[in-house]
Each structure stands twice: as C-alpha cells, then as structure tokens.
Amino acid sequence: MDSRLLLHTFLVFLLLLIPAGALYWLERKKLARFCFVFGRMVVQLVVLCLVVWGLFKASNAWVSNLWLMAVAVGASWLVQKRCGGQGRNLMPVVACGLYVSVFVVGLWLLFVLPVRVFDVRWFVPVMALLMGHSTSMLIRGLSTYLSALKADEQQYEFLRGNGVPHLKALQPFMRRALLAVVQPTFANLKVLALTSMPLLLVGLLLGGFSPLNAFVLMIYMVIGCISASVLTLGITIFMLDRLLFDKFGKMK
C-alpha cells in the first residue's frame, strides 16, 4: 500500500465526521453503536477481501468451487437459524439446494457472457450475488412453507384422506412459499432502477464497461437472481420431503 493510497483513505474517512458529528449533537447514545457497527463492517470487509485475494492468487476452478460450497454451507446455517425447522436439521438439504441452483444458474450466465467460465474475476462476483439473493429469498419462502404446513396440517390431512396424491396435496403450501419469494421480487422490481441498480451501474462504469454493456449485464444479473431464488426454493422443498413426511405421506 503506497503513501498516496493511505492519504486518500484518511481523507475519505474524514467524511465520517459528518454522521458522527450529527449523532454526537442530536443522539449521543447512538454514537458508540455507530462506531461499533462501522468497525465490524470494516473487519468483515477485510476478511472478505483476504478471501477474494486468496482466490485470485490461486486462480483455480476447484478452489473457486470449494469456496462456493463453503458459502452455501454458511448460508444454510443462516437459513436454519431464521427458519427454525421445527427441531429438524435443515442445513444439509438447504446447502445442497443453494449450491446446486446457484452453480447451475451462475454457470449459465457465465457461459452466455463472453468470458472464461471459471475466471475468478467473474466467477466470484456472479456466484456471490446469486447466493446472497437466493439466501434471502429462501428464508422468506421456506419459513412460509414450514409455517403453513404447521398451521394447516389438517388441510393437508383432509386432502390426503380424500385420495389426493401427496404432491398435489402440497401444492397449496408450495404456492404460498412461491408467492413469498415472488411478491417481494415484484415489489423490488418497481423501484430497482431508483435504488440499488444505479449503484451497480456506477460500479460497472467505473470498471470500464460501456453504458450499453453495463445495462445488458445488469439485466442478466436480475434475471439470474430471480431464476436462482425460485430454483433454490423448488429444490429445497422437494429435498425436504423425506424429512417432513414418512413413506406413507404422513407428516412426522
């Protein structure tokens, strides 16, 4: 790190005096919390940058794939924590669902883009973006699915008792889970061009992309995020079937 970068970093950090000064003047109790949260964010970014630096140094498809598996396991822990699972260990199933869906959709996007599929410069950002979106949407969808099964177990038993096949009887619950994933996406798409998309556009432009290429890449990523989140939900629900039901289709 050269002296100019250190100087520029120091000058940028001086901008923190604006929010810190406002908190000190108006809400002094929150100032320590602000400093702690910002410091934790910096530490997390340092760790992330070290991991990415290691991936770039290795520049190996197998290492990148192992990184994606590790991220999927970490994300599955977060999903397990948020969804509960009614005492069940959902992590292996969720990790598998996340990894398979993100890997398939990510490879498709990287294949469409005029780049090397396992080039770390593209593989890591694309997979990370898909994984982050899929994880947040899976938390919504899976928690809705599990809650609906628990609350309306009698509806499922009624359908099964009337001769409805197992998968057909689950459709109302899967529909609720799908809507829990899709409806927030619809809502976000309405304001996407005014919120997070300009930040991505600025990043792509700073990275040397032309406006047209940046626009096309953003469309690719939006479609990829939506597809990966729905695919993750579908794979996870179908793999959970053995954990939730016995061989006769009765809830455990």
Q: Mind listing the pLDDT tens digit for each residue in 17-55? A: 998 899 888 888 888 898 999 999 889 888 888 888 888
Distances (CA, A) of 165 to 11, 174, 249: 66, 14, 9
C-beta separation of 105 from 130 below 8 A: yes
Q: Which residue is it, tokens 């939730």? A: 244
> What is the residue-averaged pLDDT of the chain?
83
Tokens of 192: 């996407």
Residue 117: CB partners within 8 Å, gap ≥ 6? Answer: 107, 110, 111, 123
CB atoms within 10 A of CB 70: 13
- φ, ψ of residue 2 in degrees (nearest 5): -80, 170
At 158, which amino acid appears? F
- Using 50, 70 and 90 to split pLDDT, how confident is the model at 73? very high
DSSP bridge partners of 245: 251
End-to-end CA distance of the chain: 58
**Residue 251: beta bridge partners?**
245
pLDDT in tens, 112-159: 887 788 888 888 888 988 998 899 899 999 988 888 888 877 777 777
How many Cβ atoms from other residues are within 10 Å of residue 95's Cβ?
22
Question: What's the pLDDT score for residue 101?
Answer: 95
The predicted pLDDT at position 56 comes to 84
As a whole number of angstroms, the distance between CA 17 and CA 35 comes to 11
